[in-house]
Amino acid sequence: MLILQCRIPTYLVVQAIILAAKSAPFESRTAESAQPDAGTVVEEHEVDGVSEIGYRVEFVDMTGRTVAVVTVPASSFREATPADRPSVRALRSAN
């Protein structure tokens, strides 16, 4: 008899999430300017010996261009809700 173990992912691929401001992966921030970023889960990672699931999350600008793709633990973000609204801020140019 074959027994398969299945785990339902906590977050689904292409699910919108809100990254905690303290976890900002691609911009240095101060406490006064810290704002959470909205991203999209693109992949789930399980690592042997690590109890927390990791997720690869993509962040895009307002034109849809990728700004960053980072791998973060599930504890560093939360699910987006209908109460969340996008905010606008200019990032420093990479040029």
What is the number of domains present in the chain? 1
Per-residue pLDDT band for 28 (boundaries 50, 70, 90) equals: very low
Dmax (CA) of the chain = 60
Q: What is the spatial distance between Cα 51 and Cα 95, in angstroms, rounded to a whole number?
A: 39
In a domain, 89, yes or no: no
> Given this model, what pLDDT does residue 94 score?
53
> Residues 29-80: pLDDT tens digits?
444 446 778 899 999 888 777 788 888 999 888 888 998 898 888 888 888 8
Q: Is residue 1 part of a domain?
A: no
Letter for the amino acid at 51? S
90 in any annotated domain: no
Confidence bin at 4 (pLDDT 50/70/90): low
Instruction: Say what the pLDDT of residue 24 is.
Output: 52
Q: Which residues pair with 73 in a beta bridge?
A: 54
Domain assignment present for 92: no
Q: Quick check: is 88 in a domain?
A: no
Nearest Cα to 43, choosing from 72, 13, 88, 5? 13
pTM flag (> 0.95): no
Contact 19, 41 (CB under 8 A): no
Answer yes or no: is 11 within a domain: no
Q: 30 lies in which domain range?
A: 16-79
